[in-house]
Structure 1
């Protein structure tokens, strides 16, 4: 099952991605006289019960929508990110493997949807892409073990941890300002429930204008999704709807030789593809 959100009267509404199109969950549920969550926040709150309500709606559905997609999660308290979490990415950057996950944050203004155009400010030039698997928390998690950590995940989606390298290094290597411009956390196109995926062995790639830049597998992660959640939950309570960008593999432009760097610019198109989830695509203006 693949869950999406789309814009309905300027409000995110829940949909189901099917081969026939996007099912309008509320319209389809009303047609059948059944209950179903109205948006992703309600779906997360209902957990397995909500998924059970949603699954039948994709079969022989009649109510489809062509409305533009919204970010798959909109009502989130935190966007947590993990830096330097793929072995080959650390190697291309010439950096040692970190002894523990390296977290930083983005803010909700950075969220963008599949298909949305992201604005690049003219103040900077070194704009970079970062394909990432994003975990969406499903229930509060505090001091959980690695073995039980994945039980707290609601689902997974694709993300692009966009970065402004010239700002990043001009400020001494700090990451927050350089990564949380408006629209700098695209997620989507859909969310796949956690029970349907193994996050430890997913192919992940990115393309810029159709040219492959990153190609790896989540098996190259230094810290697994479970280890990340366990580590973060030892320090604070993770909440439903929290997004965790789990790091990017090798192939980002920052790792290219100086004479081959080709930073993102207006008119470019970036695609992030993750096995069993789909492809997130954004253009830049």
Structure 2
């Protein structure tokens, strides 16, 4: 089972893809929200399979981000040792956290608008998890994995001048432009994914940039959830990006993005994204 949101920006239809059928979820929920995810979404769909209608012409519709606008997007920085070093830092001893505003969220195949003057645009393939249960100060005996509703693909697009040269030391300035967080195509329930060894890849114009595995994470998914909950309340529908492996333009090995480039971001078992970089005024 996979959850998606299909249709124009701001009017996406919540669906579940089950055995090749795209089922319209509007009889049971208005959207894929934190409230829906907190209420046993898999059980809800399973119990209503025989009554949910198929969505006509689903294959012709735009694929939106698989969750409606999240309240919070937390990002874990430098969580792969080789990526930390390619950016000039040693691997951290504790999780590094920054934020992306929810307005950065875009569909997985939407055009990416390159803002004029943003000359150091960079790609970052990341495993993203979506919270399905409220969590605050989880203890060592609490099941951190039970907090997770599901997983999806993220591209943590960054503008490195804003992030590193004009930031004043805080990375969010370089992470917050419009469209800087393509999500999707699907939200796959946590029960169907083992996040400990998933292959992550990115390509630009068909050429491989990143090719790694979540087995190389410094802080694994459970550790991230448990540690984050020590400092903030995790709410259903929140998104957590787990970090990116080496192979970004910041390394100096590859050019930064420009209009006309095509990014492809892929994670094993979760799907593929594709974004065309366009001048901001051309974005649709």
* TM-score normalized with structure 1 length: 0.88
- CA separation of 1:87 and 1:76: change in aligned 2, threshold 3 A: same
Q: 1:279 aligns with which of 249, 254, 272?
A: 272
Q: Displacement, 1:52?
A: 2.5
Classify 1:179/1:23 alpha carbon distance in 2 versus 1 (closer, same or farther; 3 Å).
Answer: same
Once the two structures are superposed, residues 52-106 of structure 1 have per-residue CA deviations (whole angstroms, 9 ceiling, x without a partner) of 3466679x95744222122111231101101100122123233211111000000
Q: Which runs of 5+ in 2 are unaligned?
A: 279-284
- 2:158 matched to which residue of 1? 163
Bigger Cα displacement from structure 2, 156-165 vs 92-101 = 92-101
Give deviations 1:115-152, integer Å, cap 9, x for gaps.
Answer: 10111111121110000000000010111246611101
Using the alignment, how far apart are the partners of 1:95 and 1:55 within structure 2? Answer: 50
Q: Are 2:22 and 2:55, in contact at CA under 8 Å, matched by a contact in 1?
A: no
State which of 136, 141, 148 in structure 2 corresponds to 1:153: 148
Give the count of matched residue pairs: 273
Q: Would the aligned equivalents of 1:37 and 1:50 in 2 still touch at CA under 8 Å?
A: no
Deviation at 1:170, TM superposition (A): 1.8
What whole-Å deviation, never above 9, does each CA across 1:223-257 have from its counterpart, x for those lacking one? 0111011011011210000000110001011113x
Name structure 1 gaps, 5 residues minimum: 27-34
- Residue in 2 aligned with 1:117? 111
Trace 1:35-46 onto structure 2 (pairs within 5 A).
35-41=27-33, 42-46=35-39
Q: Structure 1 residues 5 and 107 mapped into 2: Cα distance closer, same or farther (>3 Å)? A: same
In 1, Cα distance between equivalents of 2:55 and 2:217: 42
Q: Equivalent residue for 2:85?
A: 91
Higher helix share: 1
- Normalised TM-score (structure 2): 0.89
Give the alignment partner of residue 132 of structure 1, picking from 122, 126, 131: 126
Confirm whether residue 69 of structure 1 aligns to residue 63 of structure 2: yes
> What is the CA–CA distance in structure 1 between the aligned matches of 2:241 and 2:82, rounded to whole Å?
18
Match of 1:189 in 2: 185
